[in-house]
Amino acid sequence: MCFTPICGGTGAGKPMLNSADASFVARLEVRLGKGALRACTAADLEEPRGLFRGQGAVVARPGTTAEVSAVLSMCNEALVPVVPLGGGTGLVGGQVMERGPLPVLLSLERMVAIRDVSPENNTMTVEAGAVLADIHAAALNAGRMFPLTLASEGSCRIGGNLATNAGGVNVLRYGSARELCLGLEAVLADGTIVGGLKRLRKDNTGYDIRNLMIGSEGSLGVITAAVLRLFPLPKALHTAFLAVPSPTDALALLHGLQAQFGDAISGFELIHQTGFAFLAETGFGLASPLAAPATWYVLLEISGAVALADMLEEALAGMLEKGLLSDAVIAQNETQRRHFWHIRETIPAANKRIGAISSHDISVPVAEVPALIARASAALPPHLRVNCFGHMGDGNLHYNIFPPKGENRAGYMKQREELARLVFDIVAEFGGSFSAEHGVGRLKVDDLERYGDAGKLAAMRRIKAALDPNGIMNPGAVLRVLGRA
């Protein structure tokens, strides 16, 4: 079975891709050695939401950048597709190719070394397969922090975090994965190794290939190693759980706190009462730490000097008086602080148990968040349940739609596309994004074509054709494979 890969122009004259057949796999094995290949497991072909089911001929497990280069150049020559595998935790199907010729799955699972931790430079050099939690531990061990924080940190790999420009709860202060990476090494489709493992804060020597690879979701090449930015550990963390009358008040609260604390605000997460309802319904047994029920909550974190604790208490008291919040509790110790964050981080698990009809990882300019929530809420069928929560400080909300209480989503799945369209149309009106942090993958290729800028798409296609002319890299991710309906 063959199909035409993506290309920049008309597609004329582009080669067809081939399945990785037994003879190709045998040649790969000769090149890499016996232990470097393994059969595909169920876990390799699944993704967390179960929306796509992957396929693959074999998992290649190169142990060095040179071996990654060898795999890619062999695949490129034989026109065999390659799907890079990190921790497999992506939410948009970027890690699973469900149709077309059988690909080689290129896993970074053997390239997990933390090569260098340099607290005096605030840098760490890691191989792409290093698991995020191991990176956190190595940083802490050196008296530093690596701020990228995700629910999946126990299994996701830094190469995947970078390939998808992962976000998480610390973006407000420290930025996304892109902003936490100083240097990158990657291999292009034809095996060309693009070196760049410099531990430099400033380096203006040519085009920004690093940022081009970051966020390209494995469709331009394979990230093999990176230099990460470390940060001093904050002197103290001040964490509060707040009840707010409305998103508008939450926004006023954010502005008031920013005026006073500047970029010391490291977390500002919005939570709706539906989040607590779901936590109760699904048996997680996590209730609000505040006595009286409220409709909206904010999980606030401020990092910095110990002296900020008093300032925070005073600031919140003032805002309570103004009516911007109706209740507040400040964590008195690390256990309580962890409990607050545990609530926030368990909401996605509760959502999964309830079963969303349609989930949306959206962003708008932060001042538009209240208006967006109001518009979307008015537009949706009132019998459906919405769990809206997330990184309000970044203008990034997870806006997830569920069936009425007690009903299964199965009967509603035919409304899925229509609901997504409705939400994304509203997001577009506000100048927002249909994928703030999850990426495009295979799930949102249509959305990119519908909502993306035509000139940007044209530029992307030209870059894809220039760096991967045969279209072997993660076919169907980010950009449509021509010839596929």
Q: In the range 351-380, which residues lie near a copy of itself by CB under 8 A? A: 363-368
Classified as helix, coil or strand, 474 is: coil
* Tokens (6 digits) for 344: 């926030």
Q: Which is nearer to a copy of itself, 35 or 232 (CB)?
A: 232
Site for a copy of itself in 421-450 (CB under 8 A): 431-440, 444, 448
Instruction: By CB under 8 A, name the one of 223, 350, 465, 473 that touches a copy of itself.
Output: 465
115 binds a copy of itself (CB under 8 A): no
- What mask, x for binding a copy of itself by CB under 8 A, covers residues 143 to 172? ---------------------xx-x---xx
Among the listed ranges 16-24, 286-294, 380-388, 460-468, the one in contact with a copy of itself (CB under 8 A) is 460-468
Q: Applying CB under 8 A, which of residues 18, 246, 258, 326 lies at the interface with a copy of itself?
A: 258
- Answer yes or no whether residue 8 interacts with a copy of itself by CB under 8 A: yes
What number of chain residues touch a copy of itself (CB under 8 A)?
95
Give the C-alpha separation, 99 to 236, whole Å: 50
Q: Are 473 and 76 in contact (CB under 8 A)?
A: no
DSSP string, 152-216: TTTT-BHHHHHHTT---TTHHHH--GGGGEEEEEEEETTS-EE------S---SS--HHHHHTTS
With CB under 8 A as the contact rule, which of the stretches 26-34, 49-57, 80-88, 230-238 interacts with a copy of itself? Answer: 230-238
Select from 93, 101, 147, 196 the one that contacts a copy of itself (CB under 8 A).
196
Q: Is 410 helix (H, G, I), strand (E, B) or coil?
A: helix
Inter-CA distances, 350 with 52, 171, 293, Å: 21, 23, 19
Judge contact between 92 and 478, C-beta under 8 A: no
Which DSSP category does 122 fall into? T
Minimum gap (Å) between residue 291 Cβ and a copy of itself: 32
Q: By CB under 8 A, what part of segment 18-77 binds a copy of itself?
A: none
Rounded Cα–Cα distance for residues 477 and 467 (Å): 15
Which region among 11-19, 132-140, 268-276, 391-399 touches a copy of itself (by CB under 8 A)?
391-399
Between residues 255 and 342, which has the closer beta carbon with respect to a copy of itself?
255
Contacts of 435 (CB under 8 A, 6+ apart): 92, 361, 362, 444, 447
* Residue partners of 41: CB distance under 8 A and separation at least 6: 59
Could you say whether residue 288 binds a copy of itself (CB under 8 A)?
no
Q: Residue 201, interface with a copy of itself (CB under 8 A)?
A: yes
Instruction: Please tell me whether residue 318 binds a copy of itself under the rule CB under 8 A.
Output: no
Q: Which of 17, 105, 111, 220 binds a copy of itself (CB under 8 A)?
A: 220
d(CA 364, CA 60): 40
Comparison of 9 and 33: residue with beta carbon closer to a copy of itself: 9
Q: Cβ of residue 288: shortest distance to a copy of itself, in angstroms?
A: 27
Name the helix (H) or strand (E) containing 352.
Answer: helix 334-354
Residue of the chain from 135, 467, 472, 481 that contacts a copy of itself (CB under 8 A): 467
